[in-house]
Amino acid sequence: MSANPYVIWFQDLRMTDVERVGGKNASLGEMISQLAHAGLRVPGGFATTAQAYRDFLAHNRLTERIAERLDALDVDDVEALAQAGAQIRSWVADAPLQPALEEAIVAAYEQMLQDGGAGLSVAVRSSATAEDLPDASFAGQQETFLNIHGLDNVLHAIREVFASLYNDRAIAYRVHKGFAHAEVALSAGVQRMVRSDLGASGVMFSLDTESGFDQVVFITASYGLGETIVQGAVNPDEFYVYKPSLAMARPAILRRGLGGKAIKMIFAETRAAGRSVTTLDVPEAERRRFSISDAEVEELARYAVIIEKHYGRPMDIEWGRDGIDGKLYILQARPETVKSQSEGEGALRRYKLLERSPVLASGRAIGQKVGLGVVRLVKNASQMDRVKAGDVLVTDMTDPDWEPVMKRA
């Protein structure tokens, strides 16, 4: 293990290090160290520790200041939440890293440059010490910065990741889930980027998240970086792979669904936090083709089965195909939470409407219950204060930024 209290290489981490580097970074280390022999490719990098984050706050005398600002905050007051969050984030993002932490980051990044060359591009991801629990998904609550290049930009992105622990959505989510703010610390993961901007990427689950059927792997795929799928900004290709057939080396794809794939996210010329990626329209001919081959679908499914077996539970996995070397990489893996939260109910419940009327809109189901209320059409998250208790929220797409009003709608 690394002797440095502030920076640890992924390959030196295990799942037992969640308290030190958060769930995301601990899981990356677990896969790199334990599953490489099974053929999994996981991009390398390093993580800053929770102790580094806590010492950073103490160094800048922010610990008590933040606690006092949040102490009397009502997170259901969207305007007050926005004001408090913005103020705290500015305190954190503008604060200097303590010298020992900056020196450790510089040394680790310079080692990555030696290994990866001057053109190295990295992702700087958040990993909270309370995230990726089977009964609570903190995924997306903090920030991730892609295609970061150069030491100054990496240092800036790490401070922005630290500040993102106090995003409005993250503050509200912790309160709603019963986590004390001071008990949660943040680790920043600095990971070599896979050139999926030139290839494809997606998310896969080691079960069908809608039905809970655990004999399939459900895979989504689209062109470019995977953030478009994670954010719900694109309609991806979908595949269902049958595990028993896969195990017997027989054709295993049960179903394919061609998605619209209207846009893709790629690297931008600028490589600073917040300005490092851009989106482009996908040509019509490419939209009409699947973004990955059947062979790649089955290879991904095999990886999902390996990961699920190792962790002993259903998993939610992000992957990318490098457009330069053509290889598939696992970018992160965490416990699947939707099925985990529904286990133990003991029965499959079905709901139906007692009355019928014309269908006004339809889409892909992500739940199995029935709701009713006043339809509230909201254009974007800046208008979320319009949502009243019991409303049916209608908008183009939601992401974790909508967390403050999700309990209300």
Model confidence pLDDT, tens digit, residues 1-56: 447 999 999 999 999 999 999 999 999 999 999 999 999 999 999 999 999 999 99
pLDDT at 310: 98
C-alpha span between 167 and 146 (Å, rounded): 18
pLDDT at 1: 44
pLDDT at 399: 62
Residues in the chain: 409
Q: Is the CA virtual torsion 108, 44, 307, 267 positive or negative?
A: positive
**DSSP result, 74-130:** -TT-HHHHHHHHHHHHHHHHHSPPPHHHHHHHHHHHHHHHHHH-TT--EEEEEEETT
pLDDT at 358: 87
Tell me 213's DSSP state: -
Q: Residue 210: which residues within 8 A CB-CB, separation 6 or more?
A: 365, 366, 368
Q: Strands 237-242 and 375-377, how do they pair?
A: unpaired
pLDDT at 168: 92
C-alpha R_g of the chain? 21
Q: Do 7-192 and 196-342 fold alike per CATH?
A: no
C-alpha span between 7 and 340 (Å, rounded): 32
Q: For residue 272, how many C-alpha atoms fall within 13 Å in the half-sphere facing its CB?
A: 4
Q: What is the CATH number of domain 7-192?
A: 3.30.1490.20
Give the chain's residues under pLDDT 70: 1-2, 131-141, 273-274, 338-348, 363-368, 397-409
Tokens for 238, please give them: 């979908």
Q: Residue 217: which residues within 8 A CB-CB, separation 6 or more?
A: 204, 205, 206, 207, 240, 241, 243, 246, 300, 301, 304, 305
pTM, entire model: 0.85
Q: What is the CATH number of domain 196-342?
A: 3.30.470.20
Model confidence pLDDT, tens digit, residues 222-256: 999 999 998 889 999 999 999 999 999 999 999 99
Would you list the domain boundaries of the chain? 7-192, 196-342, 351-409
